[in-house]
């Protein structure tokens, strides 16, 4: 079973659309994250949630809205998509019980045309 799973893996959409990426972890972790990897492979944290509470909110346009219905899920909704939003978005999770190791999903490749 996949530990951190995110859907869809690939998404091509037009500018101005609204889209969501879903993430689920079955590791029993209490903290979940969204990371963005740009075309130059640079990784940057966007958000983190601990037990459904927002902990980290980096400088991200408010078109991006994370939602955590429970501690096993952290979804990312993006409004009014722009060309610059094209990137790979990684969901991840961790727990202090795992020695603070962060486990990543396989990524969602978003292309805005």
Q: Given the rule CB under 8 A, which residues bind another protein?
A: 30-31, 40-45, 48, 50, 55-56, 90, 94, 96, 99-107
From the CB of 30, what's the least distance to another protein, in Å? 8
Whichever of 18 and 58 has its CB closer to another protein, that residue is: 58
CB neighbour list of residue 62: distance below 8 Å, 6 or more residues apart = none
Q: What's phi and psi for 98, nearest 5 deg?
A: -100, 20
| Minimum CB distance to another protein smaller for 2 or for 79 | 2
Give which of 45, 5, 29 is closest to 94, Cα–Cα.
29
Rounded distance, CA 63 to CA 8, Å?
19
Cβ of residue 53: shortest distance to another protein, in angstroms?
A: 9
Edge to edge, the sheet with strand 64-70 lists: 4-7, 19-25, 73-78, 64-70
Nearer to another protein, 16 or 97 (CB): 97
> Considering the complex, what minimum distance in angstroms separates the CB of residue 43 from another protein?
4
Q: How far is the CB of 15 from another protein (least distance, A)?
A: 24
Is the Cβ–Cβ distance between 109 and 88 less than 8 Å? yes
Nearer to another protein, 64 or 103 (CB): 103
């Amino acid at each position: 079973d996949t530990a951190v799973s995110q859907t869809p893996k690939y998404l091509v959409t037009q500018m101005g659309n609204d889209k969501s990426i879903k993430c689920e972890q079955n590791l029993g972790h209490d903290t979940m994250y969204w990371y963005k990897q740009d075309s130059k492979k640079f990784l940057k944290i966007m958000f983190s949630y601990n037990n459904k509470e927002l902990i980290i909110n980096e400088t991200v346009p408010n078109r991006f809205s994370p939602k955590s219905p429970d501690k096993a899920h952290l979804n990312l909704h993006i409004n009014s998509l722009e060309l610059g939003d094209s990137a790979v978005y990684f969901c991840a999770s961790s727990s202090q019980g795992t020695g603070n190791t962060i486990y990543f999903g396989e990524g969602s490749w978003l292309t805005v045309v």
